[in-house]
């Protein structure tokens, strides 16, 4: 609520009081797989600013399947995993947007080439390491996780989870499928246990001494440090941004798109524009602990502290590898096949 009160007078001027009057008495239907608490304050703020009602539906998983089964349910889709927007595009579930505002304010690397979807925020998939048992300079790349030194010392969630499928597909595009295969096999050989749990469960396992390293999204560090019940997990580890001397860390992206069943294109497009505005980005960054897609939106202090043990990282800023989502999607099936061949999620 404090963020709403602080931003409202500013954006009422910069985003346009005329827009608020024009858009009043309209409704935009949104479906999302993001945590409701990440979006509901933003929707409340937008409603206060514009008078536009947001009808929201939240799903834990299966967002594309939901859209397929109920194609007329939503005007706009917001997801924590933008990779699935490329899948939705290929299935003709998305409607290209037409916005000079987005074209002018959002860098091309955050827009689909056909304007089918946009990236709203991003977070790197990083390495969590034990402060007690892993020296800061002992790992620099994802490939380092396959070194025999780490045999029986790595924990990870299911290889088939969207986050890991995205990372492995990015690796296949960046370094070639043979390199991705070698990584999968080497990583599997070094696992301390069967893949299970979420990203935070792996950090907890490091804290409890079950393993020394894990892969996870960067935002879990500030989330854990802010949670009294999980703070000890975060404090027992430090974060490594991999591949800083080459192409950069692979990233997970949150995104949004209009649906083909959109019954209110102008209002939905204006909401899309708001999501990439300064105010929209500040909301997203403050609730998700992700990196903004605008250079003029400040990072959170909790993000600036990330990577403070890593040489070359200052203020949490890292080199990201912005691989196009369509290129990532092209490798997904091949990655699943390799995971099957290795029996990646099997018991150790």
Q: Residues within the annotated binding site?
A: 219-220
User: How do beta strands 213-217 and 154-155 pair?
Assistant: parallel
Q: Give the C-alpha separation, 170 to 250, whole Å.
A: 7
Would you give the DSSP letter of residue 191?
B
Which residue(s) pair with 239 in the sheet?
Answer: 128
> 201, 186, 219, 222: which is closest to 155 by C-alpha?
201
Element (H or E) spanning 77, and its range? strand 76-79
- Mind giving me the DSSP string for 17-36? HHHHHHHTT-EEEEEE-S-H
The binding site for Fe cation consists of: 219-220
- Which tokens belong to 108? 């091309």
DSSP, residue by residue, 270-321: HHHHHHTSHHHHHHHHHHH--EES-TTSPPPHHHHTTTTTSTT-BTTB--EE
Which residues, other chains included, contact 102 with Cβ-Cβ below 8 Å and sequence gap of 6+? 111, 115, 118, 272, 273, 276
Rounded CA separation 266/335 (Å): 39
CB 10 within 8 A of CB 279: yes
């Amino acid at each position: 609520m404090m963020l709403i009160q602080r931003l409202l007078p500013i954006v009422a001027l910069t985003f346009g009081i005329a827009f608020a009057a024009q858009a009043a008495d309209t409704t935009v239907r949104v479906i999302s797989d993001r945590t409701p608490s990440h979006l509901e304050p933003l929707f409340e703020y937008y409603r206060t600013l514009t008078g536009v009602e947001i009808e929201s539906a939240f799903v834990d998983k299966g967002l594309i399947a939901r859209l397929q089964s109920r194609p007329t349910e939503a005007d706009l889709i917001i997801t924590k995993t933008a990779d699935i927007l490329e899948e939705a595009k290929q299935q003709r579930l998305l409607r290209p947007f037409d916005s000079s505002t987005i074209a002018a304010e959002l860098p091309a690397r955050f827009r689909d080439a056909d304007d089918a979807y946009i990236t709203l925020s991003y977070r790197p998939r990083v390495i969590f390491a034990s402060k007690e048992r892993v020296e800061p300079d002992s790992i620099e790349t994802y490939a380092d996780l396959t070194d025999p030194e780490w045999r029986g010392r790595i924990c990870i969630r299911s290889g088939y989870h969207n986050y890991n499928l995205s990372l492995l597909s990015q690796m296949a595009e960046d370094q070639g499928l043979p390199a991705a295969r070698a990584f999968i096999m080497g990583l599997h050989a070094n696992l301390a246990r069967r893949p299970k749990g979420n990203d935070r469960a792996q950090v907890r396992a490091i804290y409890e001494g079950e393993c020394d390293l894990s892969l996870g999204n960067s935002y879990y560090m500030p989330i854990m440090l802010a949670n009294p019940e999980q703070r000890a997990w975060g404090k027992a580890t430090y974060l490594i941004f991999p591949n800083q001397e080459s192409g950069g860390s692979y990233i997970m992206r949150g995104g949004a798109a209009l649906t083909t069943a959109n019954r209110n294109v102008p209002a939905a497009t204006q909401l899309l524009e708001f999501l990439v505005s300064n105010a929209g980005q500040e909301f997203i960054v403050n609730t998700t602990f992700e990196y903004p897609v605008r250079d003029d939106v400040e990072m959170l202090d909790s993000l600036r502290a990330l990577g403070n043990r890593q040489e070359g990282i200052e203020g949490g800023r890292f080199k990201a590898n912005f691989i196009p989502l369509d290129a990532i999607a092209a490798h997904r099936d091949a990655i699943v096949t390799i995971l099957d061949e290795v029996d990646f999620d099997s018991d150790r």
